[in-house]
């Protein structure tokens, strides 16, 4: 159960890294007149570092620490635009799980197994979603087959957010809350299970982002809290240790046989 939890939970933490940012003023109300979707995306793209900078990204890697119910897991995630990805999960310094996607499809490798084996087909969908959000700016989503629409405004904690609805080409839907002061995504909401391998029950989930920094000129969040939207209960928190764009991966790292 620990291994299954580690895999699905750790994957979820990476889906929004590439589009996150924070509210720099908590008392903004109607900071600017209502804008079009195109203008909101343009300002968001510029706030993240600009289209040219974002379009130069073809791979990334990140190391994180995830805390839930007093336990801490360390994760190392890598992906590129072939597309391929891999995540390795550690507990107490011990490697407990890895999973990814290569040319052969989705795979997983629990600790104790002698080799990797095929993962369920849905694992490909989850992994591809992560790659899309990590490697591509929102300005490129329509060209990549994803639909964006403006879902109005919503006032939360004094911030009158622009709400952008994103429907991925595989049908996955999420809502991105763009702060009109920073033009970054402060929050993300969707309807899903927190740990589908353990409990498939879906709930309204919200991710909140903080500690924003620029890495190679690209704005990224280094802190995340995941909460149950209905109850306000904090489910887990994540601290990003490092992020690197266009790294040189060790030969074979994104292939399932790499140990």
Q: Please give the Cα distance from 92 to 112 (Å, whole number).
A: 16
Q: Is 148 or 9 the better-scoring residue by pLDDT?
A: 148
Residue written as token pair 């709400």: 163
Tell me the pairing of strands 185-192 and 173-178: antiparallel
Torsion of CA 219, 224, 226, 232, to 10 degrees: -100
How many residues belong to the chain?
259
DSSP tag of 82: T
DSSP 46-66: HHHT-HHHHHT--EEEEEEEE
If residue 42 lies in a helix (H) or strand (E), which one and from where to where? helix 37-48
Q: Please give the Cα distance from 120 to 101 (Å, whole number).
A: 11
pLDDT reported for residue 113 = 87
CB burial class (10 A; 0-12, 13-18, 19+) of residue 249? Answer: middle
pLDDT above 80 (res 108): yes
pLDDT reported for residue 157 = 93
Q: Please give the Cα distance from 113 to 100 (Å, whole number).
A: 15
pLDDT above 70 (res 38): yes
pLDDT above 50 (res 133): yes
């Amino acid at each position: 159960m620990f291994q299954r939890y580690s895999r699905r939970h750790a994957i979820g933490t990476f889906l929004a890294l590439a589009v996150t940012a924070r509210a720099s003023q908590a008392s903004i109300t109607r900071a600017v007149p209502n804008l079009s979707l195109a203008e909101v995306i343009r300002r968001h793209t510029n706030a993240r570092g600009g289209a040219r900078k974002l379009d130069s990204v073809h791979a990334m890697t990140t190391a994180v620490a995830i805390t839930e119910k007093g336990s801490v897991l360390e994760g190392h995630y890598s992906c590129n635009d072939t597309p391929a990805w891999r995540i390795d999960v550690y507990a107490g310094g011990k490697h407990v799980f890895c999973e990814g996607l290569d040319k052969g499809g989705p795979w997983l490798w629990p600790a104790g197994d002698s080799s990797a084996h095929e993962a369920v087909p849905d694992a490909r969908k989850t992994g591809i979603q992560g790659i899309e959000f990590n490697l591509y700016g929102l300005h490129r989503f329509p060209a990549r087959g994803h639909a964006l629409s403006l879902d109005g405004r919503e006032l939360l904690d004094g911030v009158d957010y622009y709400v952008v609805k994103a429907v991925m080409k595989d049908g996955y839907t999420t809502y991105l809350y763009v702060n009109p002061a920073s033009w970054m995504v402060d929050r993300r909401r969707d309807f899903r299970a927190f740990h589908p391998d353990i409990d498939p029950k879906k709930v309204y989930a919200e991710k909140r982002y903080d500690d924003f920094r620029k890495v190679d000129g690209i704005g990224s969040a280094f802190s995340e809290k995941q909460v149950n939207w209905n109850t306000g209960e904090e489910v887990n928190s994540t601290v990003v240790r490092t992020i690197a764009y266009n790294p040189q991966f060790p030969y074979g790292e994104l292939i399932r046989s790499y140990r």
